[in-house]
Structures are given as C-alpha cells and as structure tokens.
Chain A
Amino acid sequence: ELKVEQNPLFLSMQEEKNYTIYCNYSTTSDRLYWYRQDPGKSLESLFVLLSNGAVKQEGRLMASLDTKARLSTLHITAAVHDLSATYFCAVDAGKGGGGADGLTFGKGTHLIIQP
C-alpha cells in the first residue's frame, strides 16, 4: 500500500523567510503532484513532476522530485501572506498503461504566513 507523508503538517512563518515542505512516499512512482487548497475551496494544481530530477518553478514556489530517494520538496522563497494555504502532495501509484489512476495524498501542510 502506497503511503505518502508530508512534513511539517503545520507551519507558521514570517513574510520574507524561506522554507521547505517535504513529501516522502513509500513505493516506486515517477508521478508526483502538488496542490494548493484555500479554506473552503477546492484543490488547485500547482506542479506536476514526472521524472527523476524534475524541477519546476512558479513565482515564489519551486518543486523538485528525487525518485530514488522517493522525496519531493516544495520550496517557498521570500514568503508573502497570499501563500497562506494548505499544500498537498499526491502520488500516482500508476498501474501502467494509459490513463490516470487514483492519487494518494499526503495529509497536507497547513501554512500560515504572518506579516
């Protein structure tokens, strides 16, 4: 059974600081996704990481994937209040063949950025 662990689960940080959220998973997979969820809202896709060594950046967020270590990181640079949200990583167990299979999500990192 695929397990996905995120840490930390709660993070309160000040604006302009840098921090990293970690996502470990238990079985082989080369498809990892990061989502953002604002309170009372649905999930917004941030990044799709599809191969070992993949790195993607959007604004102050950068995500990377190390499939050998079964680890993905979401790095926040010079945080601003608007980035306050819950961030989820999700791994696709991938049964092979075409099509998307069910995603296994981490428990989420609740991020609060204070002025």
Chain B
Amino acid sequence: KAGVTQTPRYLIKTRGQQVTLSCSPISGHRSVSWYQQTPGQGLQFLFEYFSETQRNKGNFPGRFSGRQFSNSRSEMNVSTLELGDSALYLCASSLGLAMDTQYFGPGTRLTVL
C-alpha cells in the first residue's frame, strides 16, 4: 500500500505571497491532519479534516486554511506569507477512528525569503 504523499517536497516563496500544499493520504484513510515543524516551536498541530469537514483546529492565525476533497486528498493554504512561516509542513493520515495511528508523509519544506 502506498504511503502518504505530499507535493511539492520543497518550495521557496517570498513574503506576502501565498502557497498551497497538497497531501494524498493512504488509500482508505479518511482523516488528514496537518502539522508545522520548526526548530523553535517543534511540532504543532494545524488542523484535521475528516470526510471533507474540518474537525479540529490548532492555534494558528486565519492565514492558514485547508480543505479536503471527496477522495480524502487535502490541501492547505497559507496566505500573506511571513518569514516565520518557514517550516516543514507534515501531513498525516489515519482511518479516522478513535485510537488510530497517524501515518506521516515526507513533508513539504517551505522557505519564505
């Protein structure tokens, strides 16, 4: 079974631009979560989608948004990029049931100049 895939793997943007990251979950998984990883703040939860609905949201500004499609693929969007948005963005998928393991993708490395 193919794992979680994320595109693109690397991205360079400038301040003020916007960016869209994509995540394809493991086949059959209906839940997709997004995390931001930085050296200073560590791993922080962004949001979770299940069956096209946002089920949970972390403590991030409204510039961070996401969505999930009917095939469970998910995108996250960051508008008006700031230098501090430079990070590794990780997507994780799970079946969506309680007590379920989340499987992480390789991540998208975003650099904001």
Contact = CB atoms under 8 A, between A and B. Distances in A.
Q: Which applies to chain A's interface (DSSP): helix, strand, loop or mixed?
A: loop
A106 B38 CA distance: 13
A102 B96 contact: no
A103 B31 contact: no
Contacts of B97: 98-100
B7 interface: no
Chain B interface size range:
20 to 34
Interface of B is mostly: strand
B102 A42 contact: no
Interface string B50-85: 100001101000000000000000000000000000
Query: Size class of A's contact patch?
Result: 20 to 34
A99 B104 CA distance: 16
